[in-house]
Structure 1
Amino acid sequence: MDSTHSDKAGDFSERVEQVNPSETQEIPNNYYKNKLFIGTCGAVAISLVSGTGAFSLAAPVLNSINNDLGPDPNFVWIGLVNTLMLACGYIIVGRLSDLCGRRYFFVGGNTLGLVGAIVCSRASSITNLIGGNVLLGLAASVQTSIPFVMGELVPMKHRFLVTGLFYFFAIPCAVFGPAISYAFIEHTSAGWRWIYYMLIITNGVATTLWAIFYHPPTFVMITRKTKWQMVKDFDYIGFALSIGGILVFLMGLSWGGSVHPWKSGYVIGFIVVGLLSMVAFVVYENVRKLPDPIIPLHLFSNIPWVVNIVINALAASAFYGFSIVVPQMVFGVWTSDQAYGSIVACSSSGGFIMGIILSGLARFLGPLKWQMIVCAVISTALLGSVACATTDNMHTVLGLLITGCVFCGYIEGSTVTTSSLAIRDQSEIGIAVGVGATTRGIGATIATTIYVVTLSNRLATTIPELVPPALSQAGLPKSSITDFMLALQSGSFEQVAGVTPEIIATGVRAYQQAQVEAFRTIFFVSIAFIGSIVILAFFMPDLKSKMSDDVRALLRGKKERERYIEDIEARRQAAEPVGSRGDGQQADDMADEKLGARD
């Protein structure tokens, strides 16, 4: 049965009502107007700006950063470590905050982001910047955990709406990140460092708000264990096998084709070792059957929940894949204007974020299964149709792309929230959302790898097929074709023998057409990812019974928490003689049933 924890209407700052967790209670009338709730909302909003900005602002200008601090071939690690830490951090934050309480994870996580931003702003080398991004990536796993940190503070029926509304704050960085970054470079003396100055500000404000206003259930209120018992009982081996396996596997995928060739022993070795580690984790947890495993395997016996997180990963695969492909298409085919192109390149991410925001309405639009099927069918059709792209129909492509991404984003937003609703025990909301987010990251990494490899392979075919014949037909000597192909990368044709303005124009058009042919393949590939959602959606969970007024946790002021804890201890002590076990476990169980103390 889902745990709930709410108070009867009354004075929020003075009253403490303990209720049976099986009962549905009303939230105090002034709960949403209370400074703790309002301040926490502010903390979540600003944290989301920081969490999305750490990657979205830096990724478009990595070459500029490398030119300033390098050149260093390791500059690709700036983005890689951020996403790797993010994927692993979700499980750590979700599970440990379930077991120990959330407050210090969110205060500490944002503090980590502040330190990371300071390190990056003062970086004098690529190595410094990589180190700072390790901290920023870990912080982002806290800062983007909206589905459980806000979801547990409101009635379950409002979780869709709350998640959708808060994603408005992802718009500045997730949508307009490239435009903001290029503006910093072009219009400030500090250039790209202003990315991290901005993150210092947002992380500093967010940390302050978390520290002052965020007071969810504490360690004493959610567990009967002592802190030392929690340390002794921690699943250290499971932690190493699961987090280590995920990290090593993702590193292998991320290295392939960028840091090392795909056939490299590093790439193959890391992928294989990562997979073996994850298999070993499953075997270990099944054998040990620990009371508090790092990832409770019984979550995966809930098939509708598993289907939901798989759908979420497939939808996210389009978001991350297009975030890489679309900017290349914009600047490679349609424009060389940095300012204009950076705005156009935001089209796919803007559509996705809009879709996530609109998913806040999911509760009001009928069974979620049919919503997912309709959105998947429309999104598949529209994004597949982007394969009609030519060198001259940018507006048509953008119309199809943005609309298709809105429907795909709706799927992603709905399934993110559903990962917190479809579980059997709401005391595991953090790890349920964390596993879903990590699965999303793994799926997105795999899909992005497929997109990038496919694009590279197609370009290796289309460019030789289209560009040299066009140049020969235009009159360029065969001996100059290789020089011309190299000049296409730099845009400087002065050293190419026999070249004329007409030949340059012909060669550029052929090169653009070759890129269009390659990009078309990418959109055909997207059909496989998004189209499979149509079938999986038939197995989506039925959330009708979850749309209740039940609340997972409430924020409490200092006096209220003290009274609550004193009442818990008094009742547990009073219940101890009833227990027949020496450890007092039965007495604690009876006390918890009376108090609803397990938030």
Structure 2
Amino acid sequence: MEKINVTTSEQCERTQTEQSEDASFGSPAMLQETVQDADYRLGVRTMLAITALALGNCCAAFTNSSNTSIRFQVESVGGANLASWIGNASFLLTLTFGPIFGFLGDRVGKKWFMVGGAAIGVIGACLAGSAHSVQRIIAGQVLSGIGNAGCIVSIAASQEITPNRLRPWVMGYTQALASSAALLGTYCAGAFVKYESWRWSYYMNAFVYAVAGTSIALTYFPPPPAIRRRETLSAIFSGLDYIGIFILSGSLASLILGLTWGGTTYPWGSAPVIATLVVGCVGLLGLGLYEGYCKKDGIFDHRFFANRNFAILLFVCTIDGMLLLGVNVLFSQEIATLFTTDSVRIAVILSPYLITSLFGCLPAGYFMYRTKSYRTILVIALAWCSLFTGLMALLTPSRLTWSYAFSALFGIGTAVTTVIPVVALALSVPSFLLGAAGTLSISCRALGGIIGITIFTAIHNNRLATLLPKYVAGALHATTQGSAASEGQLLGEVLGALANSPLPPPVALEHIQPPLSKQAIGAVLGALSNAETGAWKYVWVAISAIVAANAIVACFARPVGQNMNQHVESALEHTEVRARQMEIKHAS
């Protein structure tokens, strides 16, 4: 084990209290402990706890992998018009409750938010797995989203129990396990669909939640958080930012409802969509004004903004969510339309991206640990992702090998963007507020995922609506001998079968009356493939442009090397450091 010098917490608590009383709050570096000669070693307790907390982070990855089988779920239970809610319901609740749980965890402790979240996740996964309607699957995903909101607190908790300078290592290890979970979950989801049932994917989720919750309960015994050591529970609860919590949760829920409804449940210009989007945006604006002028220690604590890193890195995490979560959901759909509908082969085609994302996490953490630098590698990784997501626009049904190569290459970049921004943000804020800051970053990633899925789906659907009639009309004209009027009527029937039938396109076309010839069906399927290729091309171009803009924003982030010191916020090993952190000395 590595020998690490860590200071006592008493001086840190005194410094933090003095800084919190200062209107300017000082800089994040001033909120770290001053290094002394106290002896602290990372031992078995800490390593077991880090692994258990990493399993908590894996829960969200497994939940997301179930989304790769959404098309098979709605084929089984119906409700294709609500399919987008299967993925978005979980994201919505994670996004809404994650910052709240992190904010409360900084004040009363994080353990039972994680354990309780895992328990709720078990219930949600079992509910979704046993569902016989899409509404029940969505209800299960709602519970899973709340469970994930508790589980993602583990990211902040795992960084608190290690010295600041080792946080990149911990994040790399944690994200490597999460990527392994995503890879395993994707293969399991595909295998379950092909050989058993998509339901077993959710039952697997329930097992992972149970293992994670049990592991955290048995290994993670932290000292009271720094705020709890200084204040009584009654003072903490009386000072909670209830107004901010209410505005944040309501605004985000309204905003995501509008984004999810638009173009699916209701037209984009409809009153429900416009009303929810306006309420969400106005609410977030009101939250900013309230937090800026009325509540300096609320959800968006003023100390987060001691330098510009917090705002910049939140933006980076949001756009990164559009890349990570958007690609994970949409790429599997593109594979199904261009290459294969076999669920196991879909998982195989996704593998290069997932594998390089997995094996790149630890090197990314090692680089930041060794150099105490992150901005250059982050900007390069984002530019790299922009290049190869742009090249994905060249995919056609005959270019499967290109898909393997390009997805593997931008997977290398996403490994960096998964690890580095979260660690850099955590090192840019006071350690005793790490829970709120960390969950805000993860929630912004979830928000980015929802926005990305919505935007990219809209781009795909709009282009497909333009290209498909054109290509199908050409195919029918070349393969049928009829009048312009009869071709027009047939075109309407074919487009209706492709858009509205729950059956796969080849089967749906066989049910058209009068029946189409085999030659006509083949031509229509070719036209559908060409239209899908053109529609997905625009999606990848949009992703590439957004990621390139993110690289430009990341150039303005500030260094955090001065904060990669030997401070440990929450000591698990039985040392003098832990003994001091276990003392509760409420402020008079």
Residue from 513, 525, 528 that aligns with 1:508: 525
Q: Which SS does the other structure have where 2:510 is aligned?
A: coil
How far does residue 66 in structure 1 lie from its aligned partner after superposition?
A: 4.2
| 8 Å contact kept, 2:309–2:425 | no
Do 1:7 and 1:25's aligned partners in 2 also have CA atoms closer than 8 Å? no
CA distance in 2, matches of 1:446, 1:76: 12
8 A contact 2:91–2:450 mirrored in 1: no
1:494 match: 510
Q: CA deviation at 1:152?
A: 1.3
How do 1:200-279 and structure 2 match up within 5 A? 200-218=206-224, 222-279=228-285
Residue 579 of structure 1 corresponds to none
Change in 2 beyond 3 A, CA 1:417/1:147: farther
Distance of 2:79 and 2:381 partners within structure 1: 44
CA distance in 2, matches of 1:205, 1:494: 47
- Match of residue 428 from structure 1: 433
Partner of 1:523: 540
Deviation track 1:116-172 (CA, whole Å, cap 9, x = no partner) reads 334444546544443332221111123234541111111212111211112222234
Equivalent of residue 362 in structure 1, options 367, 374, 379 = 367
Question: 1-side partners of 2:349 and 2:37: how far apart?
Answer: 47
- Taking only aligned residues, the RMSD between alpha carbons, in angstroms, comes to 3.0
Aligned counterparts of 1:267 and 1:253: Cα–Cα separation in 2:
7
1:13 is matched with which residue? Answer: none
Higher alpha-carbon deviation: 80-89 or 401-410: 401-410
AA paired with 1:237? I
Q: Which digits, 9 at most, give the CA deviation of each residue in 1:304-329, with x for residues without a partner?
A: 22112212222221222222332222
Percentage identity across aligned positions? 22
- Using the alignment, how far apart are the partners of 1:398 and 1:85 within structure 2? 33
State how far apart, in whole Å, the 2-side matches of 1:524 and 1:298 are: 38
1:439-454 paired onto structure 2 within 5 Å: 439-454=444-459
Q: Distance in 1 between matches of 2:69 and 2:111?
A: 34
Q: 2:554 is matched with which residue: 534, 537, 541?
A: 537
Map 1:11-90 to 2 at 5 A. 20-21=11-12, 22-25=33-36, 31-33=42-44, 36-57=45-66, 59-66=67-74, 68-69=76-77, 71=79, 74=82, 76-90=84-98
Q: What TM-score results when the alignment is normalised by the length of structure 1? A: 0.84
Question: 1:596 maps to what in 2?
Answer: none
Query: In the alignment, which residue of structure 2 is the partner of 1:578?
Result: none
Tell me how far apart the structure 2 counterparts of residues 395 and 129 of structure 1 sit (CA, whole Å): 35
Instruction: Show the counterpart of 2:291.
Output: 285
What number of residue pairs does the alignment pair up?
553
CA gap 1:435/1:261 in 2 versus in 1, 3 angstroms: same
Counterpart Cα distance in 2 of 1:283 and 1:121: 43
Letter in 1 for 2:459: T
User: Structure 2: which 5+ residue stretches go unaligned?
Assistant: 13-32, 499-503
1:241–1:281 CA contact under 8 A, matched in 2 = yes
Alignment of 1:30-179 (within 5 A): 31-33=42-44, 36-57=45-66, 59-66=67-74, 68-69=76-77, 71=79, 74=82, 76-123=84-131, 125-179=133-187
Correspondent of 1:390 among 376, 387, 396: 396
Is the aligned partner of 1:327 residue 2:350? no
Q: 1:165 to 1:62 in 2, by over 3 A?
A: same
Checking the alignment, whether the CA contact within 8 Å between 1:221 and 1:565 is kept in structure 2 is: no
Q: Partners of 2:581 and 2:385 in 1: how far apart?
A: 51
Q: Find the aligned partners of 1:247 and 1:123 in 2 and give their Cα distance.
A: 24
CA contact (8 A) 1:368 1:540 kept: no
Cα deviation, residue 209, structure 1: 2.0
Instruction: State the AA in 2 paired with 1:257.
Output: G
- Going from structure 1 to structure 2, the CA distance change for 1:309 and 1:199 (only over 3 Å counts) comes to same
Are the equivalent residues in 1 in contact too, given 2:101–2:113 (CA < 8 A)?
yes
Structural mapping, 1:461-476, within 5 Å = 461-475=466-480
Q: CA deviation at 1:517?
A: 1.3
- Indicate the structure (1 or 2) with the bigger Cα radius of gyration: 1
Counterpart-to-counterpart distance in 2, 1:451 and 1:498: 35
Q: Provide the rounded CA distance (Å) in 2 between the counterparts of 1:261 and 1:521.
A: 21
CA contact (8 A) 2:225 2:570 kept: no
